[in-house]
Amino acid sequence: MLDLLDLLTHASHPRERSLDAERDHLAIMRQAFFHHFPAEIRLGAALALFRVFAIPRLSAILARTGAWTRTSSSRLDRTVDLLSGLIEHGYDDPHSALVLARLNAVHGRHGLANDDMLYVLTTFVIEPARVIDHYGRRPLRPVEREAACVFWREVGRLMGIRDIPPNFAAMVRFAHHYEATHRHAADSNRAVAEGALKAMALLLPLPLGDIGRTALCALLDPPVRRACGLPDAPRPLAWALARVGAARRYLPGW
C-alpha cells in the first residue's frame, strides 16, 4: 500500500543483465514494482488518479457513482490490488482476465469514450515515471520506461482500447493534448479528490494524517492540484520534497 516512509528508506538493487523492453516487459515491470521502486510506483499510481479527477467529464461520473466520495478507502485498496495483481500474475492470467472483463463492464455502463479510457491508461505510465524521476533512488532507465508502455499497451488492448500510442513520448503527447482540451476546475473534481485524499491519509499513522495529506497535495503537479481545487503546499514543505530525490541519489541506503 501507499507508504511515504518507504519512499524515503527503500534501497536500490544491483543492475540486471540487459533486457529487451518488448520481449521482457513483464520481467522488467516485476523487478521495478516489487524490488527497485515499490513505493514510488504505488505512490505514482495513487497520484495518477488525481490526473483523472482533474478532468470534469470523468470526475462527474465518479462523483455520481460515489466511487471516491463514499467508498474511497475500499476503492483505493482495489485499485492498488488490481495494479499489483496485473503485474505479479500478468495480464493474460485467468484471474487478471476476469478483473479486466469486470472493468470493461463498468466502463461500458458509463459509456466512456475511447479517448477517455486511453487517457486513464496513459496516466498509469506517465505519473509513476514522473514520481520515480523526481523522488526515486535513480531515474528510470529507457528500457524500464518503454517496458511500462508495452505492459499498459497490452492491458489496454485487452480492454478494447483503440489507437494506443506506441511509446512513452507518444503517450505524453496524447496526454498533454487531452489535458489541454478537457482539464479545468469543477466541483466534481474537488469532491472526488477530497475523498481520495481522505482515504490515503487513513493509511498513515494517526498523528501523520494531516501531514500526509499536505505532502500528497505537494506531490501533485500544480495544474492538477489547481484543477482539483486543492491548496498549494507550504513553501518549506515543497522545498523539502523537491530535494528528497537528490538526497536519495547521493546518500547510500536511501
Q: Report pLDDT digits (tens) over 170-189.
A: 999 999 999 999 999 999 99
136 pLDDT higher than 80 = yes
Query: Of the segments 72-76, 146-150, 201-205, 247-251, which one has the largest average pLDDT value?
Result: 146-150
* pLDDT mean across residues, the chain: 84
pTM here is: 0.85
45 pLDDT higher than 70 = yes
Could you say which DSSP state residue 16 is in?
Answer: -
Ranges 38-52, 94-108, 137-151: which has the least confidence = 94-108
pLDDT value, residue 9: 40
163 pLDDT higher than 50 = yes
Grid look-up 501523520 returns 208
- Top-confidence residue, 128 or 251: 128
11 pLDDT higher than 70 = no
| % of the chain exceeding 90 in pLDDT | 47
